[in-house]
Amino acid sequence: MIAWREQHIKQRQFILILSLLVGVFAAVAAFLLKSSIHFLQTFVTESVNRYHVNFWYLVFPVIGILITSLFVRYLVKDDISHGVTRILYAISQRKSILKLHNVWSSLVGSSITIGFGGSVGAEAPIVLTGAAIGSNLGNFFKMDQKTLMLLVGCGASGAIGGIFKAPIAGMVFTLEVLMLDMTLTAIVPLLISSVTATAMSYFLSGSEFAFHFGKFEPFAISRIPYLILLGVICGLVSLYFTRGMNRIEGFFRKIKNPYYKIVIGGVVLSSLIFIFPPLYGEGYDTVVALLNGHSASVLNQSLFLGLGHNPWVIIVYLGLIILFKIFASASTTAAGGVGGIFAPTLFIGCITGFVVSRILVFFGFPIPEANFALAGMSGLMSGVMHAPLTGIFLIAELTGGYNLFMTLMIVSTVSYLTIILFEPHSLYAMRLAQKGELLTHHKDKAILTMLKMDNFIETDFTELFPEMDLGVLVKKISKSKRNIFPVVNPKTHVLVGIVLVDEVRNIMFRPDLYTRFKVNKLMTSPPALLNATLPMEKVMDIFEDTGSWYLPVVDENKVYLGFVSKSKIFNSYRSVLVHFSDE
């Protein structure tokens, strides 16, 4: 089949066909995920009275985390958390290869987690699913790495388009968060996947917008100062969200026993949901309520149900939800649940915009609450994900509020500019950036990240032993084409130094000295040692710091492996750059 395809279908046409198929499969996966979550939530909560305190909230989330954790631990046997981070890692370190189980494992895990009340979103798992579909489909047809990377992007684009019915946001998300600099030829497959997935979602679940709201007021120049204020607040809340999530996850990483994590995370999550029921699941019901002016309904099932007539109670209550949402979300994923930060970001953003507008209205400023709630969603997404265009287009497409573009643009831009003053990486990229494994949007660093040390180690250097005399060294030099000689321990093969021809040139033609000098007297220490596991960006930093053109490579025990040439890295860099730009 592959041979027939290569003979009858050109590469570019086949990529377009694959991008369409990826879009179809991603939309079906998104529909299955949303349906599964809805089914489980209905099954779990159908007997719950929404006007009374629900003590079952103390039980359901723990059950969901326990089931998900056991599913991942004993059936999947692989880490499927932090879906977008895993895609970034696959692009930068695994040649865009995602395991086959990622096609279904995230769907099952996130359905159970969110269906039982886990305070996370389904979007990151579906993005990982879509990317895995693209990766495995491309791998099945033996596509090259460049095409695999593009198909991973198509899967992510189709997943966002399918689950949100937002084709532009799907494509922009892929460009902003996942991909290298893309050419126009590469953007077309992304757009095909995104549009196809969106059209399939319309067919499977109808054409209604994800968030319904009554009306919004048109943009007014007089509100620009308040929008800038909202943007700054969204940026600061994004900073709190990003660093808070990272620190809480760090706390859970220190707990080695997985069952302790389940207990601690489950207790924290269920307690918070019992006190603040809007933290249950994705929280989109709360978003719809605030957009449509039903703010008092957020107190349903809570301990504060009878206080909805007091506007300050609602403001304080929502403010506490903003404060504790990161604890609920981080506890869900760190304890063993599967989910992402898309929904928590939209949830907190909506509440932030609503609270700011409600306070401004209280002090006499004519602020439309629905407009600010939507702008807050865009602002938080821009800040947390470092993706302002995604925030703008996603909110516009989610709500049909295309007339709010100026409002969304101002808040998203200000929020993004605010957070980058404090945090250079999004929450997705932060974990990889801390390890130096991030595939960045800077093309030079991105290509360096794709180059692997194993491909550059040269082993045709003549090895010397410390006890060899100068006469033997001269014979070795006469037979070698290199002017650098590694000196190793004859028993352990550990590198102990190097000999440079230029350093012994003045004595190598004096036979009377051949037995007087040993290699251990002539060798010098190398300017630096390269570990075989170092990422190429760090390797180039070491070359730059030492000014060397050749550096020895050793393993963790300092056993000599070979040398790496800076010029060879430069040549490969240029080749890859041409390859990825040749469209």
pLDDT digits (tens, 9 = 90+) for 225-245: 999 999 999 999 999 999 999
- Show Cβ contacts of residue 214 under 8 Å, excluding neighbours closer than 6 positions: 291, 292, 293, 370
Question: pLDDT tens across 263-275, in order?
Answer: 999 999 999 998 8
- Show Cβ contacts of residue 449 under 8 Å, excluding neighbours closer than 6 positions: 92, 93, 437, 438, 439, 440, 535, 536, 537
Residue 441 in this model has a pLDDT that exceeds 50: no
Token pair 């981080």 is at which residue? Answer: 330
Residue 393 domain flag: yes
Residue 192 in this model has a pLDDT that exceeds 80: yes
Coil, strand or helix: which one is 487? strand
Coil, strand or helix: which one is 400? coil
- For the chain, helix, strand, coil in percent to 5 are 65, 5, 25
Residue 399 in this model has a pLDDT that exceeds 60: yes
Residue 545 domain flag: yes
Q: Do residues 295 and 160 both lie within one domain?
A: no
pLDDT at 443: 52
Residue 30: give the domain boundaries. Answer: 2-205
Q: Do residues 199 and 227 both lie within one domain?
A: no
> What is the average pLDDT across 18-27?
94
CATH number at residue 162: 1.10.3080.10
C-alpha distances (whole Å) from 572 to each of 190, 225, 299, 417, 455 are 28, 51, 61, 36, 10
Residue 102 domain flag: yes
Residue 577 in this model has a pLDDT that exceeds 90: no
Residue 537 domain flag: yes
DSSP 73: I
Q: How many helices (H) and strands (E) does the chain have?
A: 24, 6
Q: Looking at 174, 205, 236, which one is the last position of a domain?
A: 205
Q: Is 47 exposed, middle or buried (0-12, 13-18, 19+ CB in 10 A)?
A: exposed
pLDDT at 436: 53
Strand partners for 530:
553
pLDDT at 548: 86
Q: Do residues 200 and 241 both lie within one domain?
A: no
Per the structure, the count of domains in the chain is 3
Q: Do residues 428 and 468 both lie within one domain?
A: no
Q: Do residues 225 and 199 both lie within one domain?
A: no
Q: Do residues 238 and 309 both lie within one domain?
A: yes
Q: Do residues 450 and 547 both lie within one domain?
A: yes
Report the percentage of the chain scoring pLDDT > 70: 89
Residue 216 domain flag: no
Q: Do residues 433 and 453 both lie within one domain?
A: no
Residues 339, 108: contact at Cβ < 8 Å? no
Q: In the structure encoding, which two tokens stand for residue 551, read together?
A: 């550096």
Q: Do residues 235 and 341 both lie within one domain?
A: yes
DSSP line for 232-259: HHHHHHHHHHHHHHHHHHHHHHT---HH
What pTM value is reported for the model?
Answer: 0.76
Residue 325 in this model has a pLDDT that exceeds 80: yes
Give the burial string for 340-373 (b: 16+ CB within 10 Å, else e): bbbbbbbbbbbbbbbbbbbebeeeeeebbbbbbb
Q: Which of 203, 188, 149, 193 is nearest to 167 (CA)?
A: 193
Q: Do residues 238 and 328 both lie within one domain?
A: yes
pLDDT at 47: 57
Residue 388 in this model has a pLDDT that exceeds 60: yes
Say if strands 550-554 and 530-531 run parallel, antiparallel, or are unpaired.
Answer: parallel
Residue 210 domain flag: no
CATH number at residue 559: 3.10.580.10
Q: Do residues 259 and 124 both lie within one domain?
A: no
Q: Looking at 414, 438, 462, which one is the last position of a domain?
A: 438
C-alpha distances (whole Å) from 420 to each of 165, 384, 480 are 29, 10, 53
Residue 548 domain flag: yes
Q: How far apart are CA 481 and CA 459, in angstroms?
A: 13
Residue 382 in this model has a pLDDT that exceeds 80: yes
Q: Do residues 450 and 369 both lie within one domain?
A: no
- Show Cβ contacts of residue 197 under 8 Å, excluding neighbours closer than 6 positions: 23, 24, 26, 27, 30, 130, 157, 158, 159, 161, 162, 167, 170
Residue 215 domain flag: no
Q: Looking at 406, 438, 470, which one is the last position of a domain?
A: 438
